[in-house]
Amino acid sequence: LQKSLSETFGADKYSRARKEVLTYMFSRPMQMALYFCTGVLDDETLFHHYALNVPFYTHFTSPIRRYADIVVHRLLSASLGARSPIKMEKEAIQKQADHCNDRKMASKRVQELSSDLFFSIFVRVRP
C-alpha cells in the first residue's frame, strides 16, 4: 500500500499537497477518540487502548493546547497527590467532556470539508 501511495504522490510541485490530502482521506475511517469521565462509566473495558493493548489508558497533550488536556492534567495531578482535588462533580466533568467532543467533531467536519474542497479544486485544475 505504501509503495502504491508513494507512486501516486509523484514528484512534482503538488506531490506534498497530494500526499497530505490522500493520507488524510485514507485515515478518515479510523475511529476518533472521545473524552469521557471514568467516574460515570461502569464498563472498564472502555478504558482499554486497542492499538497499545493496555487495559487503562488516558491521553493528553500539552495543557496549553486544549481545555480537555488541562482538565486531564489537573485530575492526574490530584490523583497523584500533587495538587488538591478538583471541586467538580463527575457529572459536571462529563458535561465538559461531551462539550469538548462536540467541538472536536465539528472541527473535524470542517477540516474534512476543507480537504474535500481543496481536492476537488486540485483535480479540476490539474490536467
For the stretch 64-82, pLDDT in tens is 667 888 888 888 899 899 9
Beta partners for residue 54, in sequence order? 49
Q: Are 71 and 59 in contact (CB under 8 A)?
A: no
Whether residues 39 and 96 fall in one domain: yes
Position 48 scores a pLDDT of 84
Q: Are residues 25 and 39 in the same domain?
A: no
Is pLDDT above 70 for 39?
yes
Q: Is the pLDDT of residue 126 over 80?
A: no
41 plus 17 within the same structural domain: no
Total of domains in the chain? 2
Same domain, 76 and 24: no
Q: Has residue 34 got a pLDDT over 90?
A: no
Across the range 52-67, mean pLDDT stands at 79
Residues 53 and 105 grouped into a single domain = yes
Q: Against a cut of 0.85, is the pTM above it?
A: no
Residues 63 and 75 in one domain: yes
Domain assignment of residue 102, given as a range: 34-125
Q: Same domain, yes or no, for 49 and 79?
A: yes
Please say whether the beta carbons of 15 and 9 come within 8 A: yes
Indicate if 12 and 70 belong to the same structural domain: no
- Cα-flanking dihedrals φ and ψ of residue 94, to 5°? -65, -35
- The answer to whether residues 19 and 119 touch, using CB atoms and an 8 Å cutoff, is no
CA distance 116 to 124: 12
SS3 assignment, position 54: strand
Tell me what pLDDT residue 10 has: 74
Strands (E) across 16-77 are located at none
Shared domain for 62 and 86, answered yes or no, is: yes
Question: Which is nearest to 103 in space by CA: 74, 62, 60, 68?
Answer: 68
